[in-house]
Structure 1
Amino acid sequence: MEDLHWTIVIRAAFLVLCGIMFLRISGRKSISQMTVATTIIMISIGSMLAQGLVEKTVWRSAAGVASFLLFLVVVEYMEMKFAFLEKIISGTSMVVVQNGQVDEKKLKKLRLTKDQLEMRLRQKGIERLSDVQIATMEINGELGYQLKREAKPLTVGQFEAWIQTLNPNAAIPQPSAQASGNLFEEVRSSESNRSSQLLN
């Protein structure tokens, strides 16, 4: 009985590692930007991994997962190659707000109510619909938007340019990336270390 428990643990660990490895091979887009095709494949992969654990068909499940992800990579490559396939498989972005006005017809196509749209806008920190120049519903379900010029927040670059206009001799202090613990600096340094190790 104890051996059976260990066998289940080993099979589960093997299937999870296979799933992680195959997902890494398929690319980060599969995880971060779920389209209709990737959603179906990810659900199928989960079902196949669980089936492999229950029915003791570990290698068959691993082969099935590999086949699904290979198909996903091929589909994504074909979408890059042929624009019409991208429209058929993944769809296209739809404009739902134009110049502060909601497109009711597009909302009906998306089966999205105005209240649900407003909720998404609030989650983006937008207070008034009239501030939105354009808003689009992306193929992965995310909301993209652009604010009107008068509603856009002031950026650091714009503020510095304004200071320079008022006082051309003003010195603008530049923050040190290392001193501030910049998260992007950590990624850059790790990538440069990896590339130097590959060259050596």
Structure 2
Amino acid sequence: MVFIRTLIVYLVVIISLRIMGKRQLGELQPSDLVITILISNVATISLEDTELPLLHGIMPILELVLFEMIISWISLHSVKVRRWVSGSPKIIIHNGEIDQKVLHDLRFTLDDLMTTLRTNGIFSPEEVQFAIVETNGTVSILQKPEYQTATKKDVSAVQPCTDPPEIVIADGELREKTLHALGLDRQWIDEILKAESLNIRDIFLLTADSAKQYYLVALSH
């Protein structure tokens, strides 16, 4: 009896998800993710409480699927509802400049941003034309033309081999270990600060490589 009950709940959940037409977990919108989690929890209750009539466990799942289909249909025909339910894409980098306010609003840390860039083969925000946080949480990145593969810049000159840029200063705090790992010292930092007329606490982001090439973003007030 338990086996049959489990099989029925399993089939109902699978069919429900197929009806919703959703794909991978990372592609779900916030509302879709909530519905998926709720269906999972309701199905768990149906499996754990064998004294609960099976129909009482299945009906909430079907109701959630119906609710999701209604919301999806309304969102499909209404831009306002779609933006309210799913939100809208946010630009966090434009022409190599990080939008600190949007980054803060999205609770996106500098480490999160740099990790995302590195996973896309980019080691400096300066190389980015656009970086957009999509409504499902993924980040779409467009590199500047001169940094894209097989450009004239790539063919005409052989670039020196250096270590990838690392975060040296983030949110006004100096990362001494990273600085030393790159073979740089505090004197070099002081020279940069003097040239830029800034203090460490005035810097939102400073990345550098072993060739002393750096990228700096001042903290916006």
| TM-score, L = length of structure 1 | 0.70
Q: Distance in 1 between matches of 2:24 and 2:57?
A: 20
1:103 pairs, out of 99, 105, 118, with 99
Give the aligned residue type for 1:12.
T
Give the aligned residue type for 1:133.
Q
Shifted more, 20-29 versus 133-142: the winner is 20-29
Aligned length: 149
| Alignment correspondent of 1:90 | 86
- The 5-angstrom pairing of residues 9-24 of structure 1 reads 9-24=3-18
| Alignment correspondent of 2:27 | 33
> What SS is found at the alignment partner of 1:9?
helix
Q: CA deviation at 1:9?
A: 2.0
Q: Distance in 2 between matches of 1:124 and 1:43?
A: 30
Q: CA deviation at 1:28?
A: 2.9
| Contact preservation (8 Å) 2:5, 2:54 | yes
Structure richer in strand, relative to its length: 2
Q: Distance in 2 between matches of 1:52 and 1:88?
A: 32
Q: Distance in 2 between matches of 1:94 and 1:129?
A: 16
- Alignment partner of 1:115 is 2:117: no
Q: Distance in 2 between matches of 1:44 and 1:100?
A: 40
| Alignment correspondent of 1:44 | 38
| Alignment correspondent of 2:49 | 55
- The 5-angstrom pairing of residues 74-89 of structure 1 reads 74-89=70-85
Q: Which runs of 5+ in 1 are unaligned?
A: 1-6, 156-200
| Alignment correspondent of 1:185 | none
Give the aligned residue type for 2:66.
L
Q: CA deviation at 1:64?
A: 1.1
Structure richer in helix, relative to its length: 1
Give the aligned residue type for 1:48.
V
Q: Which runs of 5+ in 2 are unaligned?
A: 152-221
Q: Distance in 1 between matches of 2:33 and 2:92?
A: 23
After superposition, the Cα gap between the structure-2 partners of 1:119 and 1:131, relative to the gap in structure 1 and judged at 3 Å, is: same
Give the aligned residue type for 2:100.
E
> What SS is found at the alignment partner of 1:42?
helix
| Alignment correspondent of 1:152 | 148
Give the aligned residue type for 1:71.
F
Q: Which string of whole-angstrom CA distances, capped at 9 and with x for unpartnered residues, describes residues 170-191 of structure 1?
A: xxxxxxxxxxxxxxxxxxxxxx
Q: Distance in 2 between matches of 1:133 and 1:149?
A: 8
